[in-house]
Amino acid sequence: MRKTVQINVDPQSREDTKSVILKALKKAGLDPKTGRGHILRRSLDARQRNAYYVFQVEVWDADDPAPEAPDVPSYQMVDEARPAFIIGAGPAGYFAALELLTLGIKPILFERGKDVQSRRRDLKAIQQFSVVDPNSNYCFGEGGAGTYSDGKLYTRATKRGNVRSVLETLVAHGAGQDILIDAHPHIGSNKLPTIIEAIRATILSHGGEVHFESRVTDILVKSDKIAGVVVNDEKEYKCDNVILATGHSARDIYALLASKDILLELKPFALGVRIEHPQPLIDSIQYKRQNRGDDLPPASYRLACNVDNRGVFSFCMCPGGLVVPSATAPGEIVVNGMSLSRRDSPYANAGTVVSVDEKLVEKITGENDALAGIAFQREIEQLCFKAGDGSQAAPAQRLVDFMKGKSSKSLPSSSYIPGLFAHDVGSLLPSEITHALKHGVRQFGKRMKGYLTNEAVVIATESRTSSPVRIPRDGETLMHPQVEGLFPSGEGAGFAGGIVSAAVDGMRVAHSLAEYLKAQVQ
Ligand SMILES: Cc1cc2nc3c(=O)[nH]c(=O)nc-3n(C[C@H](O)[C@H](O)[C@H](O)COP(=O)(O)OP(=O)(O)OC[C@H]3O[C@@H](n4cnc5c(N)ncnc54)[C@H](O)[C@@H]3O)c2cc1C
């Protein structure tokens, strides 16, 4: 009979899977010579001074049937098949395309940005010369916002689809097997591009199409049905279906839909700052010892509290990471975080954000329409830009100075390549956000002794945490309630937050689109 047992292992032995399985067999009372096993999950428990790894291991005897191997998706050749159109080659768009291949439908993808390798040059231009290409940046381009991000694959979206199959698909396209067992799987921005290229190769080799530098500038609707898309203001493609997976920063797409009176909704989101600490400081707080050593990963944290009924929380924490310029248009400052697979930068950064509801949006902007949240984000992003010298340098303040509301005389070193300039960051944010951040940080400082330090720097602004707009869809058909054939998907539609949940949503929408096409034939 198969059993699952838990084994605690020293950090030094975490890669020695053979001995972990042997220990598990012994614990389960099975003969280590004939017994078999595999690791289901690995997580770090660092609550005590001596941190250790907890392994869940499934073991069985030689006579027992082995667990079933995971289903390998069988992609069909679709060159002659019925087409489905996808706008956006982020996780939602690419996983929708892969799923369509399994369903015998030909995906035709339009992506405004460049292929994942060519995109690197534009990221360099932002980092080194403060030149922001509105079609190719940290948010736009092949792989979407997820590609040059961090590649943290943790998601809470277990109910909404098959997270495991997303991870297996990533492994099948080159990701390390570790992501299948780690409690907080991570790939890293240096490894993600190769995986994205492999996914594209699967789509192309099975007869799908991927068009780069192809911004969809119009979505044609006739008699409340999708009739086509226009690319780069010139080429028209006739079609009766579209998966709209354009992410949370495609402001032109939201404006386009609004101009056509296609129903959109204002959605709560979060906005604030990114706080960067020296990584050794976070390690010493979390591991309760001075030197982390080589056996433990750079420590992370997750913090949340409530201030006057407003959520304040850490977001997208990047241990051993870098703060990156994530604006999608010139004239704005937006920051976010990423890390490489080794997570070996000397800094730890995390978004520290405050939830923003419809009431606060209306108070600040005087608007309450569906696009008011974008106006709110944009206003603060532009204020941060105007406070500077016209480059992508970001306004910053030492954490203790931020709490006191005084400008810093000097700033600590930072991973943010375009540079920081000293400014009273609190004065650039709505007073409600600054107030909530200060109270939140005070509480975080009590929970993590040493967190509230002048060695930490506050960088503005972290504004693109999630979409401020929802593109509604019917709960069953996943189609927009007003436009037949329009399938909003992923983070930009307000139905995902993060790489894995966007991928899961893309797969789900692909199935609904297949049902829709099937119903048309019948
Ligand atoms: C720096 C950074 C770090 C992040 N780190 C993590 C992390 O570690 N883990 C995590 O889970 N999430 C992370 N995220 C968030 C994650 O990237 C997103 O949640 C996810 O990518 C959303 O997927 P999506 O497919 O819905 O949209 P996106 O990834 O935003 O993809 C949308 C795509 O649509 C394209 N597009 C937009 N408009 C048009 C148009 N008009 N025509 C054609 N194409 C268009 C865009 O170019 C883009 O490629 C990070 C984001 C950033 C910016």
Cis, peptide link before residue 352, omega less than 30° from 0: no
Report the separation in Å between the CA atom of 126 and the middle of ligand 1, taken as the mean of its atom positions: 17
Report the separation in Å between the CA atom of 185 and the middle of ligand 1, taken as the mean of its atom positions: 18
Please check whether residue 452 is in contact with residue 285, taking contact to mean a CB–CB distance below 8 angstroms: no
Residue (of 113, 81, 119, 114) closest to 97 by Cα position:
81
Average per-residue pLDDT for the chain: 94
| Ligand 1 contacts CB of residue 145 (under 6 A) | yes
In 403-475, DSSP assigns E strands to: 420-422, 457-462, 469-470
CA distance 381 to 273: 11
| Ligand 1 contacts CB of residue 247 (under 6 A) | yes
Which atom of ligand 1 is nearest to 155's Cα?
11
If pLDDT is split at 50, 70 and 90, which confidence band does 159 have? Answer: low
- Give percent of the chain above pLDDT 70: 98
Q: Which two tokens stand for residue 47?
A: 């609550």
| Ligand 1 contacts CB of residue 97 (under 6 A) | no
Residue (of 84, 92, 130, 114) closest to 516 by Cα position:
84
Which atom of ligand 1 is nearest to 143's Cα?
49
Q: Whose CA is nearest to atom 37 of ligand 1?
A: 246
| Ligand 1 contacts CB of residue 334 (under 6 A) | no
| Ligand 1 contacts CB of residue 336 (under 6 A) | yes
Which of 99, 147, 150 has most ligand 1 atoms within 8 Å of CB, for mutation? Answer: 150
CA distance 271 to 380: 10
- Give percent of the chain above pLDDT 90: 86
Please check whether residue 141 is in contact with residue 149, taking contact to mean a CB–CB distance below 8 angstroms: no
Residue (of 137, 462, 438, 427) closest to 323 by Cα position:
462
| Ligand 1 contacts CB of residue 246 (under 6 A) | yes
Confidence at residue 383, expressed as pLDDT on a 0 to 100 scale: 98
Which atom of ligand 1 is nearest to 466's Cα?
19
pTM of the predicted protein model = 0.96
What is the chain's alpha carbon radius of gyration, rounded to the nearest angstrom? 24
- Given the structure tokens 């790894």, which residue do they identify? 53
Helix H or strand E segment including 84: strand 83-87
Which atom of ligand 1 is nearest to 252's Cα?
41
CATH code: domain 3-60 is 3.30.1660
pLDDT at 148 over 70: yes
CA distance 15 to 334: 38
If pLDDT is split at 50, 70 and 90, which confidence band does 6 have? Answer: very high
SS3 state at 336: strand
CA distance 103 to 385: 47
| Ligand 1 contacts CB of residue 325 (under 6 A) | no
Confidence at residue 158, expressed as pLDDT on a 0 to 100 scale: 59
90-110, pLDDT tens digit by residue?
999 999 999 999 999 999 999
Query: What mean pLDDT do residues 160-172 have?
Result: 85
Confidence at residue 67, expressed as pLDDT on a 0 to 100 scale: 80
Q: Whose CA is nearest to atom 51 of ligand 1?
A: 145
Pair type for strands 486-488 and 225-231? unpaired
Please report how the helices 499-521 and 91-102 are oriented relative to each other, as an axis angle in degrees rounded to 10. Answer: 40
Q: How far is C-alpha 53 from the chain's CA centre?
A: 26
pLDDT at 324 over 60: yes
Residue (of 248, 279, 245, 230) closest to 510 by Cα position:
245
| Ligand 1 contacts CB of residue 317 (under 6 A) | no
Report the separation in Å between the CA atom of 141 and the middle of ligand 1, taken as the mean of its atom positions: 9
Query: What mean pLDDT do residues 447-469 have?
Result: 97
Which atom of ligand 1 is nearest to 497's Cα?
19
Give 170-193 as a DSSP string. Answer: HHHTT--GGGGTBSS-B--TTTHH
| Ligand 1 contacts CB of residue 149 (under 6 A) | yes
Q: Which two tokens stand for residue 237?
A: 């493609």
| Ligand 1 contacts CB of residue 491 (under 6 A) | yes
170-219, pLDDT tens digit by residue?
999 999 999 999 998 988 878 899 999 999 999 999 999 999 999 999 99
Helix H or strand E segment including 508: helix 499-521
Cα-based distances in Å from 491 to 249, 290, 313: 9, 40, 19
| Ligand 1 contacts CB of residue 488 (under 6 A) | no
366-397, pLDDT tens digit by residue?
999 999 999 999 999 999 999 999 999 999 99
Report the separation in Å between the CA atom of 139 and the middle of ligand 1, taken as the mean of its atom positions: 5
CA distance 445 to 453: 8
Which atom of ligand 1 is nearest to 92's Cα?
25
CATH code: domain 83-265+469-521 is 3.50.50.60
Report the separation in Å between the CA atom of 170 and the middle of ligand 1, taken as the mean of its atom positions: 16
| Ligand 1 contacts CB of residue 378 (under 6 A) | no
Report the separation in Å between the CA atom of 402 and the middle of ligand 1, taken as the mean of its atom positions: 30
CA distance 149 to 144: 9
Q: What residue segments make up the domains of the chain, in order of their start?
A: 3-60, 83-265+469-521, 268-462
